[in-house]
Amino acid sequence: MCRHLAWFGAPRSVASLVLDADHGLLTQSWAPRRQAHGTVNADGWGIGLHPEGGGAAARWRSDKPIWSDTNLASMAPHLVAGRVIAAVRSATEGMPADATAAAPFLHDGWLVSHNGRVDRAAVGPSLDAESACDAALLAARVVAAGPGRVGATLHDIADADPAARLNLLLLSRDQLFATRWGDTLFVRHDDDGVLVASEPDGSTGWEEVPDRHLVTVTAAGVRVAPLTSG
């Protein structure tokens, strides 16, 4: 239902994170190895970052396959940041197909990506959502409730939709939250930061996150803990 990643660490180029890695996100857009729902992620893509030196978060989104963009390869080496999020989309049937439905979504300084599906009625309406798609509604609700309460929010939604898959990335300048709920999630600790992704690229050192767990990354380190309802 999508592949996504987030980087929290020293500045790196978008090209190194998204395009250059062996079996990285670019390759996962057409040949994912661990995607249980859907076979190709051709319904859009997005990249978001918190610029070095401060300022508002920036995004680049499209409703086209990431491999079809003729500008990304030339621009990505020049987009450098220590807080980066990226996603390729496999749209849920019946969801909008325009670029506003592509992650990352942006709310109150948080860049948010959703890998999964959820009944929109279980999430509820939101005037702040950037699209009518399930992922945009979910992003708006989680940020409105407070990213620090993501466990409680996801439990409430799952009570209303037990079949929901609720893998999320939430990235601010100071924190990264990543949830595994119903789909795969992996984390890799590098010397200069932490990479979280739906599935590993071709490098070594990846660790699988257990289902219904939360990864929290700050400047102080990394914590993996169960997603509790409290």
Distance CA 30, CA 14 (A): 19
Q: What is the mean pLDDT of residues 23-38?
A: 91
The domain containing residue 87 runs over which residues?
A: 2-226
pLDDT at 92: 85
Distance CA 175, CA 168 (A): 14
pLDDT at 94: 84
CA nearest to 84, candidates 48, 59, 111, 58:
48
Catalytic, 133? Answer no
CA quadruple 103, 32, 187, 46: dihedral, nearest 10: -20
Q: What is the mean pLDDT of residues 145-172?
A: 97
pLDDT at 170: 98
Q: Is the dihedral of CA 211, 138, 27, 6 positive or negative?
A: negative
The better pLDDT of the pair 97, 134 is held by: 134
pLDDT more than 90, % of the chain = 89
Which CATH number characterizes residue 21's domain? 3.60.20.10
- For the chain, the residue count is 230
pLDDT at 97: 87
Distance CA 42, CA 50 (A): 25
Average pLDDT, the chain: 95
Q: Is the pTM of the predicted complex or chain greater than 0.85?
A: yes
Q: What is the mean pLDDT of residues 51-66?
A: 96
- Per-residue pLDDT band for 1 (boundaries 50, 70, 90) equals low
Contact partners, residue 49, CB within 8 Å, separation at least 6: 14, 57, 58, 79, 81, 83, 84, 85, 111
**Is 111 a residue whose pLDDT tops 80?**
yes
Distance CA 82, CA 60 (A): 17
Summarised one tens digit per residue, pLDDT across range 114-156 is: 999 999 999 999 999 999 999 999 999 999 999 999 999 999 9
**Is 221 a residue whose pLDDT tops 70?**
yes
How many domains is the chain built from? 1
Please tell me which residue in 1, 2, 157, 227 is annotated as part of the active site. Answer: 2
Q: What are phi and psi of 223, to 5 degrees?
A: -135, 135
